[in-house]
């Protein structure tokens, strides 16, 4: 067993690391404070096809695996979490089109998605369907060779700058659950925006509530088999973007803390020379390494075609909590100035908190993990 990245993986990571240092980090604080959409950053990511990193080369993407995807997302998230979430969710839509769509749908959507000329967002959650998506109320009824959609979607990240929402709707009776939900690619213009929330963090990319009223969608925008949309999601691998985002924030918090505590002087010495401080910094590094190892293990299992349910949930719980804990510790070790917007650590803490909730709250992942553990030993 080796824990080193390959040369190609290191090159990809370094390319994104340099991009993040030069193009994202200098702008991140202002983008967050001004709640400004990072459009030029996405344009440049599109030009580099990093917006299509997991899309196969035959459709214009880079054709990389999930380990490479996790590495890219970590780097972007270390710069600005909202950039990483937008790309992660966009590529989640692309994964559904690639794996469950028809060849015509793949050719229609994937090349444009790879370049970010067509942007995808996820419309799964609703007001009454958060942790339990099976309680969704949005419906799609067949009418000839069209579907008529009614309902709403909540928390559609990047909705305001997206082209299509992968919209999940009930197409069958509740007794058929979970085989009663289908996925449709619905143009954003067909939705009404109901609420754009003010949020604690993730300020530069909004996640509004949007509604659908008698929206007609042609049959060729149904992605995958009718009734199987929700079940198909169980086998997706792009969800590894959530723990990877956690690793990015946890690492950024560590690096800022090393820099700050090595230069800040009190008692005639750098505060990093106080053992109480240096042990905390060591602990922060341990959290980063643990979170990254778990995240890359889940991604690697997915790349090898193995079931990664247990590994993914473990990574999600660990890495998102590592982001919160490291951001919190970073603020403590920056003292008063860390509590201001002069440093990034207060943003890390605000952004990190989203990650233990979104992508399914960590409590739900604890259920998934513990079920898998009992199955492993009892089965
Ligand atoms: C900024 C933001 C962006 C988002 N982006 C998207 C997106 O792009 N697309 C999308 O479809 N969704 C998105 N979501 C939705 C997100 O996935 C949901 O918020 C999440 O699944 C939780 O649902 P909920 O908020 O309704 O919480 P609830 O389901 O109401 O849960 C509330 C709390 O109850 C506790 N809890 C829940 N289940 C359990 C359990 N089994 N055991 C113990 N405790 C439990 C947890 O502490 C949880 O946080 C986003 C959310 C936010 C806030």
Structure tokens at 117: 């000329």
Single out the residue in 119, 141, 168 at which a domain terminates. 119
Give, rounded to a whole angstrom, the gap between the first and last alpha carbons of the chain. 27
Question: Contact, 277 vs 308, CB < 8 A?
Answer: no
Q: Is the distance from the beta carbon of residue 128 to the nearest atom of ligand 1 less than 6 Å?
A: no
Quick one: average pLDDT of 234-262? 97
Answer yes or no: do 172 and 298 share one domain: no
% of the chain residues with pLDDT over 70? 100
pLDDT band of residue 2 (cuts 50, 70, 90) is: confident
Q: Is the distance from the beta carbon of residue 199 to the nearest atom of ligand 1 less than 6 Å?
A: yes
Answer yes or no: do 315 and 186 share one domain: no
Residue 206 has what DSSP assignment?
-
Question: What is the 51 CA–ligand 1 centroid distance (Å)?
Answer: 26
Residue 189 has what DSSP assignment?
G
Answer yes or no: do 28 and 141 share one domain: no
Q: How confident is the model at residue 297, as a pLDDT? A: 98
Question: What is the 320 CA–ligand 1 centroid distance (Å)?
Answer: 14
Give the ligand 1 atom nearest the CA of 131.
29
- Does 11 fall in a domain? yes
Single out the residue in 119, 139, 154 at which a domain terminates. 119
Question: What is the 310 CA–ligand 1 centroid distance (Å)?
Answer: 20
Counting runs of H as helices and runs of E as strands, what totals does the chain give?
A: 12, 10
Per residue in 89-101, pLDDT (tens digit) is 999 999 999 999 9
Q: Provide the β-strand partners of residue 123.
A: 167
Q: How confident is the model at residue 250, as a pLDDT? A: 99
Answer yes or no: do 129 and 205 share one domain: yes
- Does position 87 have pLDDT exceeding 90, yes or no? yes
- Does 374 fall in a domain? yes
Q: Is the distance from the beta carbon of residue 360 to the nearest atom of ligand 1 less than 6 Å?
A: yes
Quick one: average pLDDT of 239-265? 98
Answer yes or no: do 245 and 372 share one domain: yes
Indicate the average pLDDT of the chain: 97
Q: Is the distance from the beta carbon of residue 131 to the nearest atom of ligand 1 less than 6 Å?
A: yes
Q: How confident is the model at residue 129, as a pLDDT? A: 97
Single out the residue in 119, 143, 166 at which a domain terminates. 119
Per residue in 151-183, pLDDT (tens digit) is 999 999 999 999 999 999 999 999 999 999 999
- Does position 294 have pLDDT exceeding 90, yes or no? yes
CA-nearest residue, atom 42 of ligand 1: 363
Q: Is the distance from the beta carbon of residue 230 to the nearest atom of ligand 1 less than 6 Å?
A: no
Give the ligand 1 atom nearest the CA of 367.
41
- Total number of domains constituting the chain: 3
Parent domain of 264:
238-378
Q: How confident is the model at residue 1, as a pLDDT? A: 84
Quick one: average pLDDT of 338-366? 97
Q: How confident is the model at residue 212, as a pLDDT? A: 98
Sign of CA dihedral 98, 100, 105, 107: positive
CA-nearest residue, atom 14 of ligand 1: 155
Answer yes or no: do 264 and 211 share one domain: no
Strands (E), the chain: 120-123, 139-143, 146-153, 164-170, 181-187, 192-195, 209-218, 222-223, 265-266, 269-270
Q: Is the distance from the beta carbon of residue 358 to the nearest atom of ligand 1 less than 6 Å?
A: yes
Answer yes or no: do 107 and 142 share one domain: no
Q: Is the distance from the beta carbon of residue 124 to the nearest atom of ligand 1 less than 6 Å?
A: yes
pLDDT band of residue 82 (cuts 50, 70, 90) is: very high
- Does position 379 have pLDDT exceeding 90, yes or no? no
The DSSP code sequence of 289-344 is HHHHHHHHHHHHHHHTT---HHHHHHHHHHHHHHHHHHHHHHHHHHGGGGGSTTSS
């Amino acid at each position: 067993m080796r824990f080193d990245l390959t040369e190609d993986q290191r090159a990809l990571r370094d390319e994104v690391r340099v991009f993040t240092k030069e193009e994202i980090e200098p702008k991140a604080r202002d983008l967050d404070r001004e709640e400004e959409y990072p459009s030029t950053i996405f344009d440049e990511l599109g030009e580099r096809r990093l917006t299509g990193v997991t899309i196969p080369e035959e459709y214009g993407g880079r054709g990389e695996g999930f380990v490479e995807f996790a590495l890219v997302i970590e780097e972007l998230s270390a710069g600005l979490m909202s950039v990483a979430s937008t790309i992660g969710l966009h590529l989640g839509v692309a994964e559904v089109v690639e794996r469950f769509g028809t060849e015509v749908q793949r050719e229609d959507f994937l090349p444009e998605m790879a370049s970010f000329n067509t942007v995808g967002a996820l419309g799964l959650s609703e007001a009454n369907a958060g942790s339990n998506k099976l309680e969704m109320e949005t419906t799609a009824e067949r009418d000839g060779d069209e579907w008529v959609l009614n309902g709403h979607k909540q928390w559609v990240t990047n909705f305001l700058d997206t082209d299509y929402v992968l919209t999940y709707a009930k197409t069958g009776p509740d007794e058929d659950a979970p085989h009663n939900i289908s996925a449709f690619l619905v143009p954003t213009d067909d939705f009404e925006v109901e609420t754009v929330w003010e949020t604690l963090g993730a300020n530069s990319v909004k996640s509004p509530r949007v509604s659908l009223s008698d929206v007609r969608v042609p049959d060729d925008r149904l992605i995958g088999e009718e009734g199987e949309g929700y079940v198909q999601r169980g086998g997706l691998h792009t969800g590894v973007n959530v723990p990877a985002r956690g690793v990015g924030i946890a690492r950024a918090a560590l690096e800022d803390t090393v820099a700050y505590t090595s230069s800040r002087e009190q008692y005639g010495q750098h505060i990093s020379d106080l053992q109480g401080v240096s042990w905390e910094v060591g602990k922060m590094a341990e959290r980063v390494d643990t979170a990254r190892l778990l995240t890359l293990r889940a991604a690697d299992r997915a790349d090898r075609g193995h079931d990664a349910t247990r590994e993914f949930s473990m990574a999600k719980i660990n890495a998102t909590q590592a982001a919160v804990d490291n951001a919190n510790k970073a603020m403590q070790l920056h003292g008063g100035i860390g509590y201001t917007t002069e440093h990034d650590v207060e943003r890390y803490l605000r952004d990190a908190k989203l990650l233990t909730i979104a992508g399914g709250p960590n409590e739900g992942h604890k259920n998934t993990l513990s079920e898998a553990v009992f199955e492993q030993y009892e089965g």
